Amino acid sequence: MKSSTRPEQIDLLPYMGKWLLLASAVAVLAGSASAFFLFALDWATATRLAHRWLIWLLPLAGFAVGWLYLRFGRQVEAGNNLLIDEIHDPKQVIPLRMAPLVLGGTVVSHLFGASVGREGTAVQMGGALADQLTRLFRLRHEDRRIILMAGISAGFASVFGTPLAGAIFGLEVLAIGRLRYDAILPCMVAAIVADQVGLLWGVHHTHYAVPVVVPIALWPLLAMVIAGAVFGLTGKAFAELTHALGGWMKQRIAYAPLRPLLGGVVVASAAWFLGADRYLGLGIPSIVEAFQQPLAPYDFAAKMAFTVVSLGSGFKGGEVTPLFYIGATLGNALAPLLNMPLPLLAGIGFVAVFAGAANTPIASTLMAMELFGAEIGVYAATACVVSYLFSGHTGIYRSQRIGHAKHRHAPEGIRLGELPAYRKEQARRDTTEQTER
């Protein structure tokens, strides 16, 4: 085989041209979809707040969305996990119906008061729309992997207004301990352009203020280590409880639409009779308050409970914004205990619980710097990395692979969702071998 004598940079030009065009196309689609979604979400939230009685329709709304997915969306019900699986093992183009189904399901969830997020919706829309280019341009499997990653980055960046975090999220979320740098240009372009497309449509993102970042010193760094461990354990608990409830309901309730109906009864009743409306929906006002004043120390646990029931029973949306709420309010509660400024620890918690639950410490650190300023970077990185380690080999995305184990042996390439069964089988084999000896 002859080796080319041309400079490598010459061959790079058509590659860059190809991905600049494809990634920009993905960004326009994903950014526009996210903008429409955010406007719809604002309307749904405002309508629910103006008409509190709507939360009593949450069970019926859950049943309706569950029926639609049972009837038309079985192929796409796995959501983010389907995107991750298709990137690792490409099989077939994701049906376009994923986008309208998750969009409608999420808006309905927020309209009637489910405690869900928005990142899952934006990522799924970005991925589904991006994958339609696979058929249009007849892309190879390797190119399809990259364009799906670009769709994930574009969706994440445009819904949160964090292009750098979005770009790295699309690379980092696929496997623990391993990044795919072959997709860094498409993901970066898609994230940046999608964010700008959203802004052109008139999207406004919430501003969170961390007015003072204390100088780097021994105690603040130790405080970040302690807080990071708590944040990581919290992210681990959130992921495990959500998966456990979802598995339990699937075992006991065979007819899928009945699961969100039951979950809706629980959420609506708790919110109405306990006056717990602050734990419904995205909870953006409460997140903002966490940066401004002391809140009830149990706010993080209450939001976790409402979100676990909502997601575990089958409502559509995402996990990330509830994780921001949980992290910010937990940081708010820890601030006086660790003698740290309240806004600073609320901001660190905002990103660090997400870092542990999603196993994305680099993207989370970049998000902190984009939202709160570059000077928070050292503290955010410390807490996010510690959170990532303390969350163990668990996570909100069960299709996430183990690329390189964190600090305890785990087989490479295995899905997080398959790891408990693997370890159980290994423990059984070890017991059998010891008995035979």
* pLDDT tens string 119-155: 999 999 999 999 999 989 999 989 999 999 999 999 9
Q: In sequence order, what are the beta bridge partners of 175?
A: 401
> What is the per-residue pLDDT across 178-210, written as a single tens digit (0 to 9) for each?
998 999 999 999 999 999 999 999 999 998 989
pTM of the model as a whole: 0.95
| CA 226 – CA 425 distance, rounded (Å) | 34
Kind plus residue range of the DSSP H or E element containing 176: strand 175-176
Q: What is the CA radius of gyration of the chain?
A: 22
pLDDT at 437: 65
What is the pLDDT averaged over residues 7-28? 92
| Mean of per-residue pLDDT scores for the chain | 94
Kind plus residue range of the DSSP H or E element containing 263: helix 258-274
Sort residue 138 into left (φ over 0), alpha (ψ -120 to 50) or beta. left
Task: Report yes or no: 260 and 66 within 8 Å, Cβ to Cβ.
Answer: yes
Whether residue 250 has pLDDT greater than 80: yes
pLDDT at 8: 81
